[in-house]
Amino acid sequence: MTPMPLFRSRISAPRTPSRRTLLAGVVSGAAVATVGTPVPAVARSGTERPTLPPPDARALRAAIDDLAHPRASGAQLRVTGSAGRWYGTSGVSDPATERHVGLNDRVRAGSITKAFVATAALQLADEGRLRLEAPVRHYLPALLPERFGAVTVAQLLDHTSGLPDHVGMPDMDTPQAVLRHRFDRWTPQQIVATVTQGELKFRPGTAQEYRGINYVLAALVIEQVAGRPYGIEIRDRLLRPLRLGHTSFPSAEGNPRRIRGPHMHGCLDRGDGTLVDVSEFDMSRSHADGELVSSTGDLHRFLAALFSGALLPQRQLRKMFTLPPEHVRMLDGSPARYSTGLQTATVNGVTLWGKTGQQYGYASGMFATRDQQRRLVWSFTPVVLGADPSPMSRRIAGAATAATATRR
């Protein structure tokens, strides 16, 4: 999906239900009554907001049935929200056994991890335990050199830190290299050390560059503040209260390589047309950057709770819907498109907020309109290393937003 300008309406909630009440609604299964209810919003023009039509089942089915662009073994898509719902699968979950995709099959959700990390950081900030505007070196003085002293926690979370490129991590640009290095073990401190030799790429806060290292450091800050592993902190703050039983952080488990329970199998083409299963993978290289294991159902529940205000008060939630100032641009000169933990895209005139994620053999996304008329969560299993996943993502987003909106 190609990001477009920021949607600038603001949430207005004069009688916001408590986080306890909203969480109760989510976990009781009353998602339609509590979480699926649109969040009130005030449009800049003063006119009423467009109403999205019910999901177009035929268009959504066509979007995921095309497993040739990019080549993939299976796909699943969950569309929900106050404007209607649809769920579908295509292909197989395991090419070796030809098992069909299951409703709750787990996947490696990649950079969707960042939305969970950002939510936990904002909760700690709301509790007064973490200062977003504090320098990262305030919390991690031994990890970052003094010349990086201007980088703040907030700049990690919205990718405006300017940290240097990695030096010393192995290239994984061929299937053979992926297989050779997929069980390499990394500590977060070793990952940070690969970016501390060079100089900052730009003055912090003046540009935006999407970088996983920002969230490796953000998770280390969370651990410093909370006094325990970030995965355990997020488990107790988010996974357990929302009953996300199919979601886990491999770093918090005894066996970080395997996906527990039924899952979609990520496979790679060796280059000769044969597939190798890479579902088993040491995720330490993606610590806090992309290690999450989840399901489309769990991601839907998390997204609904987050957008409904069940996880954050409005003063913190607004940060997730606020891009950097207009003068802050991506390094290629395009507008900034990442907020604190999320990204934005406008498709068919409909503005969506959420997050995409990739791992070897997996590509996922979770997005919603701010009023939750439409939520869409998908995952599929591309088999060609380096293949652009965006054709599938664009088809899904296009189908979910295609019909001409009417006025309430």
As a whole number of angstroms, the distance between CA 132 and CA 128 comes to 10
Residue 39: inside a domain, yes or no?
no
Q: How far apart are CA 284 and CA 265, in angstroms?
A: 19
pLDDT at res. 51 = 83
pLDDT of amino acid 128: 97
Q: Per-residue pLDDT tens for 10-67? A: 222 333 345 554 465 555 443 332 333 233 333 333 333 568 999 999 999 999 999 9
Core vs surface per residue 251-287: b (16+ CB within 10 A) or e: bbeeebeebeebbbbbbbbeeeeebeebbebbbbbbb
Residue 36 lies inside a defined structural domain of this protein: no
| Buried b or exposed e, range 210-246, using 16+ CB within 10 angstroms | ebbbbbbbbbbbbbebbeebbbebbbebbbebbebeb
In a domain, 1, yes or no: no
- The domain of 110 spans 18-23+50-407
Bridging pattern class, strands 72-80 and 86-94: antiparallel
Secondary structure tally for the chain: helices H, strands E: 13, 17
Which amino acid does the sequence have at 196? T
- The predicted model gives 254-264 an average pLDDT of 87
| Residue at token pair 């049935």 | 65
pLDDT at 50: 64
List the one residue out of 246, 251, 247 whose CA is nearest residue 230: 251
286 vs 253: CA distance, rounded Å: 15
What whole-number distance in Å separates Cα of residue 217 and Cα of residue 222?
9
Cβ neighbours for 51, distance < 8 A, ≥ 6 positions apart: 83, 373, 405, 406, 407, 408
User: What percent of the chain has pLDDT above 70?
Assistant: 86
- Tell me if 3 is assigned to some domain: no
Structural domain includes residue 37: no
Average pLDDT, the chain: 88
pLDDT 10s digits, 149-185: 999 999 999 999 999 999 999 999 999 999 999 999 9
For the record, the structure tokens of 213 come out as 């290292």
**Lowest-confidence segment of 108-122, 239-253, 394-408 by average pLDDT:** 394-408
Backbone angles phi, psi at 305, to 5 degrees: -65, -40
Question: How much of the chain exceeds pLDDT 90, in percent?
Answer: 83
> What's the pLDDT at 192?
97
Which CATH number belongs to the domain containing residue 196 in this structure? 3.40.710.10
For 60-107, write each residue's pLDDT tens digit.
999 999 999 999 999 999 999 999 999 999 999 999 999 999 989 999
H-only helix segments in 264-402: 296-307, 314-320, 390-401
How many degrees, rounded to 5, is the angle at CA 178 between CA 255 and CA 117?
55
Residue 378 forms part of a structural domain: yes
Q: What is the pLDDT of residue 405?
A: 41
10 part of a folded domain? no
In a domain, 44, yes or no: no
Closest by CA to 361, choosing from 384, 378, 377, is 384
Best CA proximity match to 71, nearest among 55, 95, 103, 101:
95
Instruction: Categorize the per-residue pLDDT at 253 as very low, low, confident or very high, splitting at 50, 70 and 90.
Output: confident
Q: Number of structural domains, the chain?
A: 1
